[in-house]
Structure 1
Amino acid sequence: MSEHRAIIDWRRSSADFTYLTYNRAHDWQFNAATVPASATKEYRGDENRVNPEEALVAALSSCHMLTFLAVAAKRKLSLDSYRDEAVGVLEKNAEGKLAITRVTLRPKIVWSAGVTVSPEDLAKIHHDAHAGCFIANSVKTEVTVEA
């Protein structure tokens, strides 16, 4: 078992506190970094800051990538780069509540020189990466990989 911590720090910046006037800007503090965060633009947030919806998509994508790299390394399949342009969809779920209902990962992998991976083997690596991803195992969101 391990614990993972984050400090979320918000401070009022206006004299009044109403839905229209309170600021959504806040910081996420981790051991190594501070991330400027906010609500999405649709909820009166600052689009120049990371929002929780983007962070969830990034967490799923990052976890999948890290697990993919581990699976590939254990199979002695070397790669030079991995880039994912992941997309999450916010919509009403089966209970009628707004949720990130699905995330699509679109990883582009550049294998090292001399490494050949069949489409079937690539699908198996992605399957194993998804099954081993702690974040994917923690959410109800449907996660698909379009490789």
Structure 2
Amino acid sequence: MTHGEHHYNVVVEWTGNQGTGTSGYREYGRDHAIRANSKPEIAGSSDPAFRGDATRWNPEDLFLASISACHQLWYLHLCADAGIRVLSYLDEAHGTMREGPNEGRFAEVVLRPCVVIRAGDDRELAARLHHSAHEKCYIANSVNFPVRCEPTIEWAEA
């Protein structure tokens, strides 16, 4: 693994002009497209609470997904290195955002990964590796609010 500086580029294009641009708060759509290199486009909008389209991804969903996915990828790496064979991983993450008069911010994220490992593998080590994954997660290290992890570790049926 190389250490150093990494750069990321995305394009976010607003597609919500309904003919009059931003002539008024209720006069434009929140739809946008998110692109990066040759990856599939993500259809975005704002949260429905902010006049967005509930069928599209919003920044808050993507932010929470980033934290969860980063933790998962580190966890799988650490388990592979430790000889823990992960057979399935499902995280039902939850984020709490608080809205103030002039701003909003996330107050907390709770990751709830349910991990199934090979029967006989060390469940205690598998649980401890979540702590290490959290310490290594680039996204969790970049936020200014608590990210908690409440894992469940199960053995696969023999």
Same fold (TM over 0.5): yes
Question: C-alpha deviations, 1:85-114, integer Å up to 9, x for none?
Answer: 001001158xx8410111000000010243
Q: Which residue of 1 aligns with 2:135?
A: 131
- 2:40 is the counterpart of 1:33: yes
Query: Which secondary structure state, in structure 2, belongs to the residue aligned with residue 39 of structure 1?
Result: coil
Contact 2:16 2:31 in 1 (8 A): no
Q: Which residue of 1 aligns with 2:112?
A: 106
Other-structure match for 2:50:
43
Partner of 1:19: 25
In 2, Cα distance between equivalents of 1:15 and 1:57:
33
Describe the superposition over 1:55-112 as per-residue Cα deviations: whole angstroms up to 9, x where unpaired.
Answer: 110000000000001111111111111000001001158xx84101110000000102
In 2: Cα distance, 1:81 partner to 1:123 partner? 14
SS at match of 1:109: strand
Deviation by residue 1:23-59 (Cα, 9 ceiling, x = unmatched):
1000110231210000000000000000000111000
Distance in 2 between residues matched to 1:67 and 1:85, nearest whole Å: 17
With structure 2 as the length reference, what TM-score do the two structures score?
0.84
Unmatched tracts of structure 1, length 5 or more: none
Sequence identity percentage: 33
Please state whether the residue corresponding to 1:104 is helix, strand or coil.
strand
CA distance, structure 1, for counterparts of residue 75 and residue 57 of structure 2: 25
Runs of 4+ residues over 3 Å off in structure 1? none
1:146 to 141, 144, 150: 150
**Cα distance between partner residues in 2 of 1:76 and 1:19:** 55
What is the aligned-residue RMSD (CA, Å)? Answer: 1.6
Q: Mean alpha-carbon deviation: is it higher for 16-25 or for 63-72?
A: 16-25
Confirm whether residue 122 of structure 1 aligns to residue 126 of structure 2. yes
